[in-house]
Amino acid sequence: MAENHKAGEGVPPSNTPKAKPQKELYPMTSWKYDAFLHTFSVLVDLFFREVHPRGAWRVPRSGPILFVAAPHANQFVDGLVLQRTLKQEANRRVGLLIAEKSVHGFIGWGSRQTGSVPVGRAQDKAKPAKGLIYMPDPINDPTLIRGIGTDFEKDAEVGGMIFLPSIKGQSGSSVDIAKIVGPEEIRTKRPFTSQLSLFQLTGRDDIDSQGKFGNEDLTGPKDGYEGTKYKLAPHIDQTDVYKAVFTRLRSGGCIGIFPEGGSHDRTELLPLKAGVAIMALGTLAEDPNCGLQIVPVGMNYFHAHKFRSRAVVEFGAPFKIPDDLVEKYKNNQRRDAIAQTLDMVHQALSAVTVSSPDYDTLMCIQAARRLYNTGRKLPLPMVVELNRKLAIGFSKYKEDPRIVDLMDNLRDYNKQLHYLNIRDHQLSYARMTLLRVVFTLLYRVSKLLVLSIGVVPGLVLFAPVFVATKYISHQKAKEALAGSSVKVQGRDVMATWKLLVAMAFAPALYNLYSISLAVKVYQDNLWGYVPAAIPFWLVYVIAWIIFPAITFAAFRIGEVGMDILKSLRPLILCISPTSSYSVQRLRERRLELSTQVVKVINDLGPDMYDDFEKSRLVSDPFRDDGFLSSREESGIPTIRQEGESAVSSPPDSPGVVRRHTTRSSRAIPRNESFSNIGAIGMFATRPPSRSRSRSSSAGGGFGSAGFPVSGFTSLDSHEGFQEANNKIRAAMKERSQLRRRKSGVSLNDEESDA
């Protein structure tokens, strides 16, 4: 609970009244929390092939922490993954904020075991209201909303919210109600500003993407326009929620929040809710010395809704709210303080998430990453980091002609891959000879047949669960999409429903299998194959062990089998006379695109990052171990300088010939030169950690010691070596003097002896 503070100096401790510990509204019991996570973490291990933590060493091991996680792309699975990762990597227990409408059934029981705080949300209580609404004067009076056939005095309330419907995948807007003028007029706290909302409320088509009207002489809606449908939500009192959060944080606990609000399946972050800022500022306003820190968490999924997918949970650097913002919050300047805090949180989340304006752009960014990182398999955290940097670059230079042309080419390349129904990395099969392709195909088919022996029994046993989870999850996705204004396809709820259905259906199904087997043994000893001495109840127990074991083995073997099965189609295409030419042409197109991607990145990269050459995540992609089998094939000239080894470089790209480096390091790939000597384990400024969270979460490769740190000095010149030599000599001299002082020999005696 919250610590007691002294009333002042000079007051005897015995006379200081002790504040009674404040009872939490939603308490967290440690053993219940640990037991729940230990039991249900197996769901994460079964559903995901890999959950990779990154940066967990940044999480403080003590003190109050407000974890802000985004994007909220996997509904209740997000919370389970976050809690499991924090407990395993940082030994911190975190209570999550959960929607009040979800606190029932199994989800409600689980939330109570982990000390979650239920939150009422306006969108959950919004209901369609009668009549239509429109803006009578969007130019001069944009906060006035007028209705036709409405009864705002009965249906609406001050402090409530008004919601507009979503159209064609675009989320509808919402605003707070400031005043009820009459049954057919209300005023909002702020005007609707988006292009879609203004179109819905005016029917006019002269609105640009910034929400500006082209013809300002026309102050009203379009002639004959009656209005749009809408929803109304009552005012939500969050006093108990904030009280519970303040108490938990002031007592040194942790709170986790998804500041976007509800879950969604969009490729960009939604606007952050003000609640996260109010929680942080309110806690510090009550106890400025509590030491509250905010830790951003990036929930990065690869196909979040699919079974046996992958995820990277990335923790950003913790930060504190400046004192001046807390003072503003306390001195009735809350709006400004909340806005600045939200900006800080959004900026921190942008550093641990990958955000793009739409799905098509995200696919182009991922294609660019694969083309840039030609022929190499990167660790998952590095894949996320490279995607993030490319997304930032594409967003910054989206109007640049080079980026526009590259994006068009990437879209066309993705369409060709989709048409052939193959993946980017599978184009490497086109380099193989026909004989080798045939041999590889036969070998993989035979391997697949052998693996099917271990897969088919478990697949048959679990098939009803697969069918049920797929059908129900798709139905729930449709329901969620119909009731949401921000979802695109409703895929954010699919993983949750797959797990819930499997948890309920699988035990019942395997119980049926076990009972059926026991009954058959009781009737005729399983056609005489089971000895009569074995009781049927023992058969039931053994069946409960064997059937799940067969299914689990099928899952693990099936992963390998699915990878092999997916690799057969490109091999068949390479053999087929009608499609082999298309695959070969697409591979040649890939080589051209790879050259273009590298050139654009090398041209624009130094403009974005001053230390581009040192901070780049992958070295020069054009090496012999990639898809580009030779430098001549890629059209890259070889530059030679007198007395130096050859250095390959894309034509006309800045920063390719490395300057200010020693001759011995020029032959080394750019991110492996002596300039980055701190990345090698034996020269790292911090020793390698035995902690799994530090070593695994950093995502570093060989010799990274868990931290991709820079070198402690630059050894690129004679002056650099001389500086290092002087420092070593000075340190040795100081150490020698300290040793002599301890032995009782003074420096003067030493000099006189000399």
pTM of the model: 0.75
Nearest to 236 by CA among 205, 275, 203, 202: 275
Distance, in Å, from the CA atom of 20 to the CA atom of 41, rounded to the nearest integer, reads: 37
Task: Give me the DSSP letters along 519-570.
Answer: HHHHHHHHHHTS-TTS-HHHHHHHHHHHHHHHHHHHHHHHHHHHHHHHTHHH
Q: Are 458 and 551 in contact (CB under 8 A)?
A: yes
Distance, in Å, from the CA atom of 78 to the CA atom of 258, rounded to the nearest integer, reads: 9
pLDDT reported for residue 727: 65
Q: Are 117 and 241 in contact (CB under 8 A)?
A: yes
Q: Are 126 and 232 in contact (CB under 8 A)?
A: yes
Distance, in Å, from the CA atom of 613 to the CA atom of 601, rounded to the nearest integer, reads: 11
Give Cα 368 to chain centroid, integer Å.
Answer: 19
Q: Are 208 and 141 in contact (CB under 8 A)?
A: no
Cis amide bond preceding 548, omega within 30: no
Distance, in Å, from the CA atom of 676 to the CA atom of 699, rounded to the nearest integer, reads: 17
Q: What tokens were used for 708?
A: 């991709």
Distance, in Å, from the CA atom of 717 to the CA atom of 673, rounded to the nearest integer, reads: 13
- Residues written for the chain: 754
Distance, in Å, from the CA atom of 306 to the CA atom of 670, rounded to the nearest integer, reads: 37
Longest Cα–Cα distance in the chain:
109
Q: What tokens were used for 337?
A: 């303080």
The residue written with tokens 């080419």 in the block is: 409
Contacts of 576 by beta carbon, 8 Å cutoff, 6+ apart: none
What's the one-letter identity of residue 476? K
Q: Are 69 and 99 in contact (CB under 8 A)?
A: no
Q: What tokens were used for 241?
A: 């929620």
Nearest to 365 by CA among 340, 383, 344: 383
Nearest to 704 by CA among 719, 722, 726, 688: 688
- With a cut of 70, list the residues of the chain below it in pLDDT: 1-23, 168-170, 374-376, 614-727, 734-754
Nearest to 329 by CA among 376, 282, 397: 282
Nearest to 142 by CA among 95, 191, 198: 191
**Three-class SS state of 423:** coil
Residue 314 φ/ψ, nearest 5 degrees: -110, 130
What is the torsion angle, in degrees rounded to the nearest 10, for the CA atoms of residue 415, residue 421, residue 425 and residue 430?
-100
The residue written with tokens 């062990």 in the block is: 545
The residue written with tokens 């303080």 in the block is: 337
Distance, in Å, from the CA atom of 606 to the CA atom of 620, rounded to the nearest integer, reads: 15
Task: Give me the DSSP letters along 230-255.
Answer: -EEE-----HHHHHHHHHHHHTT-EE
Contacts of 10 by beta carbon, 8 Å cutoff, 6+ apart: none
How far from 348 is each of 226, 362, 393, 394, 397, CA to CA, in Å?
A: 44, 21, 17, 19, 22
Where do the H-state alpha helices sit in 421-535? Answer: 434-482, 494-528
Quick count: other Cβ atoms within 10 Å of Cβ 525? 16
Cα torsion 380, 497, 457, 444: sign: negative
Contacts by residues 447-455 (CB-CB < 8 Å, ≥ 24 positions apart): 447/564, 448/561, 448/564, 448/565, 448/568, 451/557, 451/558, 451/560, 451/561, 451/564, 452/561, 454/553, 454/554, 454/557, 455/554, 455/557, 455/558, 455/561
pLDDT reported for residue 703: 35
Quick count: other Cβ atoms within 10 Å of Cβ 126? 20
**Is 701 exposed, middle or buried (CB count within 10 Å of its CB: 0-12, 13-18, 19+)?**
exposed
pLDDT reported for residue 376: 65
Q: What tokens were used for 646?
A: 């050859």
Distance, in Å, from the CA atom of 361 to the CA atom of 690, rounded to the nearest integer, reads: 40
For all residues of the chain together, what is the average pLDDT? 81
Contacts of 739 by beta carbon, 8 Å cutoff, 6+ apart: none
pLDDT reported for residue 619: 56
Q: What tokens were used for 398?
A: 């989206």
Nearest to 77 by CA among 383, 361, 498, 560: 498
Reduced DSSP (H G I as helix, E B as strand, rest coil) percent helix, strand, coil of the chain, to 5: 50, 10, 35
What's the one-letter identity of residue 562? M
Distance, in Å, from the CA atom of 277 to the CA atom of 188, rounded to the nearest integer, reads: 22
Q: What tokens were used for 166?
A: 């979503």
Can you count the helices (H) and strands (E) in the chain?
24, 16
Helices 434-482 & 494-528, crossing angle to 10 degrees? Answer: 110
Q: What tokens were used for 375?
A: 């022929």
Distance, in Å, from the CA atom of 392 to the CA atom of 397, rounded to the nearest integer, reads: 9
